[in-house]
Amino acid sequence: DARGVALLRRLVRENPATDGDSAEAVAEVIVALARLGDFDEVRIVEELTRHGSVAVRLAAVRALSHAVGPDTLATLSRLGDEPSSEVRLQALRALFLLGLPECVEPIAALTRDPDAALASIAMARLEALTGSSDVALARAWAARVAGDARCRRRGEPIDYGRLAEESLAEGERDVSEELEIRTGATFGSALPPLLPMDPDEQERLARAWRDRELPRFEVGGHYRHGFAVRVTP
């Protein structure tokens, strides 16, 4: 609510984010603000992606999956040379969530990452964004739709109803997390893995969400935690 946003904003303003611990705390506060629909402080975590501490850079880049601003794409695109593979992995995730054709080139670069596991994940993310795991075809797709600011998934403007359906499939915890970041919906996926929700209850929650919430999510729209955000190439 408004009081919660005001309190969190005050925490950010009063914290200089100069040392590692305080900077990590600021990144977490900005994620909390994003969950409340406030994205005005995203520039702070964008700046923290240049911090000397790997832990701070990791927290900052992780926050950019949740909070976006005008410079987020540029910030993430320069992280291909980041020394930490963990930070590069989080940058990859945030780039995929942006869903822009302009994200293809930095993701394609990560398919050649020296960390073989990260390169494999980048290839999967490339396909999830463009519909193709062939880098040349993905680049051709990006050139064809360049400048179209709609959020894409598998080459098409994202359909949130379809994403919700995918999130219910067994073993799709990554998709469930994606759905939560984009829409705020969990269908019980926020429970620890050892405490899975009954599938029938998940389906009931999903049906209720589709009936009540889905109509406000435009195909191709950009959202974080259920709030519309402006994402520009």
- Kindly give the confidence (pLDDT) of every residue in the chain, 233 residues in length, as a single tens digit, with 9 standing for 90 and above: 666 667 677 666 666 555 566 788 888 889 998 998 999 889 989 999 999 999 999 999 999 999 999 999 999 999 999 999 999 999 999 999 999 999 999 999 999 999 999 999 999 999 999 999 999 999 999 999 999 999 999 999 999 999 998 888 755 678 889 999 999 998 765 444 445 667 788 788 888 899 999 999 999 999 999 999 999 88
Strand partners, 228: 223
| Residue entry with tokens 């709030």 | 227
pLDDT score of 191: 46
Strand partners, 223: 228
- State how far the Cα of 206 lies from the Cα of 214, in Å rounded to an integer: 10
Strand partners, 38: none
* Six token digits for residue 152: 């894409």
Contact by Cβ (8 Å): 20, 55:
yes
Amino acid (one-letter) located at 132: S
- State how far the Cα of 215 lies from the Cα of 41, in Å rounded to an integer: 29
pLDDT score of 161: 94
pTM: 0.89
pLDDT score of 152: 98
- Number of other residues whose CB lies within 10 A of the CB of residue 47: 14
pLDDT score of 207: 87
The Cα diameter of the chain in Å comes to 49
100 φψ region: left (φ > 0), alpha (ψ -120 to 50), beta (else): beta
- State how far the Cα of 74 lies from the Cα of 85, in Å rounded to an integer: 19
